[in-house]
Amino acid sequence: MVHLKGLFVNDHEEGSTPLLPEAESYSFQHRRAESREIFLGRGKNLVLSIFLLLGSYSAILIPAYLPTTQPNWANESFSEEAKALLNQSAVLLSRVCQPQWTRDRLQRLAALSDLQEIPVFLQNGNEDEELPPPMGLQGTGEMVNRTLSTLPKTSLPSTPETCRRCVVVGSGGILHSKHLGAHIDRYNIIIRMNNAPVKGFERDAGSRTTIRLIYPEGAPHSPWEYHNTEIAALVAFKGLDFEWLTSVVTKEPLSWWSKLWFWKNVIDTIPLKAENFRILNPKIVYKTRLVLQSYVKQQRTIIPTLGATAVVLALQLCDEVSLAGFGYDMQHPGALLHYYGTLRMDTMMTQVVHDVSAETLFLRQLVTEGVVHDLTGGICQGAKCE
């Protein structure tokens, strides 16, 4: 849909700019003669003003009616597309949750068939010491055990044991204006990542959070984002991240020296109780990386995004999995990257840590095999997923 924004032309106040330079030496008669010339030229001035005004409006308005390069989810067919997505989501939610749905279909994908053997949250720091964070605990065992000693619980969320229906809410701009918030809130487990906001975006993103995956630099600073949140789960990328979580849980501030080693200012307090914190098992991140490596065109070591990690977490945890807000539209670098903020898609093109293409292929296969449901239709846009 082409959105026409309000356009305003601010005219200068009459007389705000002198028409003639001031000169005290002018005689009174000379001034009257010049004024008469200006008065007699008003007709011509009026014609010229109208011509310029029409030209300005044409330059502004005509391009709005020309073909655009906006992505499919932002063009004229948006309204009908949004209605279709809402109807599909409603049909999906009206069905009875089917236990083992995800597990049964994962058996078709050898790389993911053993996911259910991985504990979701970390139980102790005496394992996974062969690799450094975020895929292992090398050199962090003591810090991990100290942090775990401050956490009363390391169990799963309080959800139905018979059949868990989950949704992973990505931060993609494709979620904007889809009106899926009320549908998202009906899932048993709602997984979000880092500082993706809820407040002010409830219509599209929902209002509840079961698990929010965070690393210190990405944790929301607004206390509002922790309302209706059951679990904040740390995804540790360095040993210092465990110290940060210990500080947040115990309310004991980090030293100024420790804070220097974060690449971005971190929040000092989170308005949640100690029993609401967890540590994501690094095996989940490691497994995600192994899976993505099979989709990488040029073999290299990559770090999964929190979005891809959250999907693998959901596959491990849930009977049915839906995704919302996923799908990079790399064909339109000017498209919004997130459903909030102003970052554009070309931001992802410049980073070298993640492999967006590999993650897209991975998600497309999950949709194709019926392992997950794509609520916003962004994963397969421009490609066949049947």
Across-strand partners of 121? 280
Q: How many CA within 13 A on the CB side of residue 37?
A: 7
Q: Mean of the per-residue pLDDT values for the chain?
A: 80
Q: Residue 46: its pLDDT value, please? A: 64
Give me the mean pLDDT over the 284-313 stretch: 88
pLDDT band per the 50, 70, 90 thresholds, residue 298: confident
Query: Which residues touch 175 (CB under 8 Å, ≥6 apart)?
Result: 169, 204, 205, 324, 325, 339, 376
pLDDT at 58 over 60: no
Question: What is the pLDDT at residue 157?
Answer: 82
pLDDT score of 173:
82
Name the amino acid, one letter, at 238: K
Measured in whole angstroms, how far is the alpha carbon of residue 243 from the centre of its chain?
A: 26
pTM, 2 dp: 0.77
Binned at pLDDT 50, 70 and 90, residue 1 comes out as very low
Higher-scoring residue by pLDDT: 372, 294:
372
> Which tokens hold the place of 1?
């849909």
- Interval 179-211: pLDDT, tens: 999 999 999 999 999 999 999 999 999 999 999
At residue 166, the 3 state secondary structure works out as strand
| CB count in 10 Å sphere of residue 143 | 19
- Domains, the chain, in order of start with CATH, read 72-374 (3.90.1480.20)
pLDDT at 16 over 60: no
Phi/psi at 227 (nearest 5 deg)? Answer: -65, 145
| Of 324 and 61, the one with more pLDDT | 324
Tens of pLDDT, residues 215-234: 999 999 999 999 999 999 99
Give the model's confidence band at 55: pLDDT under 50 very low, under 70 low, under 90 confident, else very high.
low
Closest by CA to 201, choosing from 105, 340, 294, is 340
Residue 286 near residue 310, CB atoms below 8 Å:
no
CA neighbor of 272 nearest in space, from 224, 331, 337 = 224
